[in-house]
Chain A
């Protein structure tokens, strides 16, 4: 699925980066190679005012490369502050000083709720996943939630989650308000398409399809009905400048791990 001189991981990183603006004050959790690259790319291009707290620890770092863990010290070089404990970090995620988080899931539903806990019943799982970690927290606390997936297929994009590890738009319109939660998921970038959420129904809506992918293919790869409004454009391929930056910001191609792992 590569075309020109970009690869799919670079397209996904660039598409996610375009969702970030100068008002983003993001932090990242574990196994977040794609968003970490995208945050650095956005900061280096159209969103220089963006804030990124690496590993939810290191404020505004400029690491020379991305290690095998996105919670690793190798990501903290050049930071202006290391937040040394949970007490340092969590209140900022709760009071809105930090406002953005990216997550993915083994399962994702139409409202952007995600599962990273179990496939099958909780007590007797078919597949025991690593766990939600901070997903359950940050889906609630962050006004701006971004979802990415490197496995756009009907096993990942499902009608019904086996377990809701993290909340997106919950049960649909009104649910977050009822729980007293602000904002919600804005964007979902996958290996096939870019999607957002309808402002009224909060259901996932197709925004663009990646070069070489058809609308029908995306719908076929999705286990629920996608909202498709009007002509669907092609996702803008990464520019030469973006490709060059991605390869320099992530010289060991840590981002590709997510695609290899599936």
Chain B
């Protein structure tokens, strides 16, 4: 994972994020990433705690009923990371524009909010000269790499969720230059041929497949396992004290590197 790469991480809130991959990014000492996460929580918090993130492009970062994402909040308030907030739909539109190969995708979403002027080079309010209708133009946003987690993949890259719940992962896969799939199980291609209607992503759209059993933990991989509420609670409790948190993080993820970005030597 080259330093400075833009990486789209899949999942939806407490559902099916590629957590095993995020853990390995932390352990590998990934740096300076531009992280794209539409609606996330733990994945983003791990990568920030691991010192991997320079800039976060996001719609929402939260643990929901388990509270605010503690390292996201601390790093954003301290200015250790740059937060580039979109609305959920304008971010989806930006990814769709990249997939379609057009300069921008129009939408009515976000009109009249401060979200649009936040990044004038990325989102702009425009008026259609024919209809007079106002819209937001969401400039194409192409991740270098997208990483998603699925139930099953074959060695060629065919991938599926059972059932087929793919949310924003669809947009990430279609927009990104390279796609990495982590999978609970590696299965035969014959099983995809036997039920092609279930395939979510075809081999030609996937560049790398990684076998990662329980690879979404502590997020849920419905219907196979639920989110680990005890872990979310323990994580939040530990986050009140830096030393306690560093121990928990080392045990379950990797070295804690939360702080100001290192200046280049």
B137 to A: closest C-beta gap in Å: 15
Does A228 touch B at the CB level, under 8 Å?
Answer: no
Q: Mark B84-119, 1 if CB is under 8 A from A, else 0.
A: 010111101000000000000001111111110010
Does A50 touch B at the CB level, under 8 Å?
Answer: no
The reply to whether B39 and A71 form a contact with Cβ atoms under 8 Å apart is yes
Q: Mark A143-167, 1 if CB is under 8 A from B, else 0.
A: 0000000000000000000011111
The reply to whether B167 and A82 form a contact with Cβ atoms under 8 Å apart is no
The reply to whether B110 and A73 form a contact with Cβ atoms under 8 Å apart is no
Beta-carbon contacts under 8 Å, B44-88 to A = 58-62, 64-69, 72-73, 76-77, 79, 83, 85, 87-88
Contact pick for A140, options B62, B72, B111, B227, CB 8 Å:
B111
The reply to whether A72 and B14 form a contact with Cβ atoms under 8 Å apart is yes
Does B15 touch A at the CB level, under 8 Å?
Answer: yes
A125 surroundings in chain B (CB, below 8 A): 76-77
Does B213 touch A at the CB level, under 8 Å?
Answer: no
Alpha-carbon distance A68/B220, docked complex (angstroms): 12
The reply to whether A131 and B59 form a contact with Cβ atoms under 8 Å apart is yes
Does B164 touch A at the CB level, under 8 Å?
Answer: yes
* Majority secondary structure, A binding face: loop
A105 to B: closest C-beta gap in Å: 12
The reply to whether B88 and A128 form a contact with Cβ atoms under 8 Å apart is no
The reply to whether B115 and A85 form a contact with Cβ atoms under 8 Å apart is no
A51 to B: closest C-beta gap in Å: 20
Does B3 touch A at the CB level, under 8 Å?
Answer: no
The reply to whether A132 and B115 form a contact with Cβ atoms under 8 Å apart is yes
B90 surroundings in chain A (CB, below 8 A): 136-137
Alpha-carbon distance A242/B165, docked complex (angstroms): 34
Beta-carbon contacts under 8 Å, A95-145 to B = 117, 122, 124-141
Contact pick for A137, options B73, B88, B220, CB 8 Å:
B88
Does B133 touch A at the CB level, under 8 Å?
Answer: yes
Contact pick for B113, options A70, A136, A176, A180, CB 8 Å:
A136
Beta-carbon contacts under 8 Å, A54-109 to B = 57, 67-74, 82, 84-87, 90, 94
The reply to whether B165 and A84 form a contact with Cβ atoms under 8 Å apart is yes
A85 surroundings in chain B (CB, below 8 A): 165-167, 170
Contact pick for A132, options B60, B83, B171, CB 8 Å:
B60
Does B134 touch A at the CB level, under 8 Å?
Answer: yes
> A136 — nearest CB in chain B belongs to which residue?
B87
Does B163 touch A at the CB level, under 8 Å?
Answer: yes
Beta-carbon contacts under 8 Å, A212-230 to B = none
Alpha-carbon distance A70/B79, docked complex (angstroms): 30
Does A185 touch B at the CB level, under 8 Å?
Answer: no
A138 surroundings in chain B (CB, below 8 A): 109
The reply to whether A128 and B114 form a contact with Cβ atoms under 8 Å apart is no
B229 surroundings in chain A (CB, below 8 A): 68
B235 surroundings in chain A (CB, below 8 A): none
Does A33 touch B at the CB level, under 8 Å?
Answer: yes
Alpha-carbon distance A137/B39, docked complex (angstroms): 14
Does B259 touch A at the CB level, under 8 Å?
Answer: no
The reply to whether A165 and B14 form a contact with Cβ atoms under 8 Å apart is no
B101 to A: closest C-beta gap in Å: 18
The reply to whether B59 and A132 form a contact with Cβ atoms under 8 Å apart is yes
A137 surroundings in chain B (CB, below 8 A): 87-90, 107, 109-110
A124 surroundings in chain B (CB, below 8 A): 79
> A131 — nearest CB in chain B belongs to which residue?
B60
Of the candidates B58, B60, B66, B109, the one having the most CB atoms from chain A within 10 angstroms of its own CB is B60
Does A181 touch B at the CB level, under 8 Å?
Answer: yes
The reply to whether A30 and B62 form a contact with Cβ atoms under 8 Å apart is yes
B73 surroundings in chain A (CB, below 8 A): 127-128
B168 surroundings in chain A (CB, below 8 A): 86
The reply to whether B39 and A30 form a contact with Cβ atoms under 8 Å apart is yes
Top 10 nearest A-B pairs by Cβ distance?
Answer: A68-B65, A136-B87, A133-B60, A137-B109, A128-B76, A130-B62, A137-B89, A73-B222, A167-B112, A69-B64
